[in-house]
Amino acid sequence: MEKALAVPRLPPHDPGTPALSVVDMHTGGEPLRIVLAGCPEVAGPTLLAKRRYMRQHLDHLRRRLMFEPRGHRDMYGAVLVPSELPEAHLGVLFLHNEGYSSMCGHAVLALGRFALDFGLVPAPPAGVREARVNIHCPCGLVAAFVECEGGRSCGRVRFHSVPAFALATDLLVDVPGHGKMAVDIAYGGAFYAFVSAERLGLDICSAKTRDLVDAASAVTEAVKAQFQISHPESEDLSFLYGTIVTDGKDTYSEEPTTNICVFADEQVDRSPTGSGVTARIALQYHKGLLELNQTRAFKSSTTGSVFTGKAVREAKCGDFKAVIVEVSGQAHYTGTASFIVEDDDPLKNGFLLK
């Protein structure tokens, strides 16, 4: 029996539904499930059109990959698609428990490694210790730089963001259960609200994750109800992705500053949140608390994992003064899997516990 089981093969399944093959990774504890095979063609002339098509026609695949029993409510995914940009090595659609995000920094760090190791980009010449991977995200083109040796990834990955900017500072919002408070809103490929844990009556380092999630979700819903989010260049990007609760230590320090990101349907990021770090650095630069090329460390309150980031140059996004932000972290492989569907399975497209 042991010899028979040693031969990898799929169990009986619906032959009309291809198996979904994936590579699983994590960056700072935050998972990423990359679809290798089995996803139908995602139609559309642009990446944003492909994002709309997948939401309208292929959302059952998102649920199948992200939800139980194959995933969990905090699973995160990536579907690789062709890009219309000639300089892009690949395009990507990001999946989560509620839908499709516009940017994901932890995923970009992982995809940089994946693209090099799986041959989606050519290996750099001998002696060159870093490979560039141009990743077309829904928010725009993001450049990842992958440490490598002998044509394979090793060590850390960094990326340069799309233009990041502060949308609103000290915005007064009435948060049910917490009263009126000032919040900041900034963009790092996605829009986030920022508030210190102290304003919510919590300690970012000792509070239970459930209490932080409840408070962050209350802020998100309050901002959505009381403030109109608008991106200067695309309506597809004009939405609040979530709330990042911080330790309030925005003034520059060599010590890490801690935060937790709660996004989508109360999904908790285990990493310091790459696009959140991007937005937070843009906010600190806007407030004069950070200079160009001044590196800060950002720590996840859930896992203790750390990303570093810095504003590398000034830019523009519409009429907003913006910065290009570099974020650095380390991604790891965790395994591969193939998922099948039995046609008579009532839970074949997944479920989430509330």
The residue among 15 and 309 whose pLDDT is bigger is 309
Enter the pTM of the model.
0.96
pLDDT at 258 over 80: yes
Judge whether 142 and 128 are in contact, CB under 8 Å. Answer: no
Catalytic residue flag (residue 104): yes
Other beta carbons within 10 Å of 66: 25
Q: Quick one: pLDDT at residue 8?
A: 65
What is the residue type of 343? D
Percent of the chain exceeding pLDDT 70 equals: 98
pLDDT band at 198 (very low <50, low <70, confident <90, very high): very high
Per-residue pLDDT, averaged over 237-263, amounts to: 98
Q: Quick one: pLDDT at residue 2?
A: 58
Category of 103 on φ-ψ map: left (φ > 0), alpha (ψ -120 to 50) or beta: beta
Per-residue pLDDT, averaged over 337-345, amounts to: 90
Q: What is the DSSP letter of 73?
A: T
- Pick the catalytic residue from 104, 137, 139, 261: 104
Which domains does the chain show, CATH number per domain?
Answer: 20-161+333-339 (3.10.310.10), 162-325 (3.10.310.10)
pLDDT at 52 over 70: yes
Q: Quick one: pLDDT at residue 354?
A: 76
The residue among 74 and 9 whose pLDDT is bigger is 74
Mind listing the pLDDT tens digit for each residue in 179-190?
A: 999 999 999 999
Distance from C-alpha of 215 to C-alpha of 176, rounded to nearest angstrom:
9
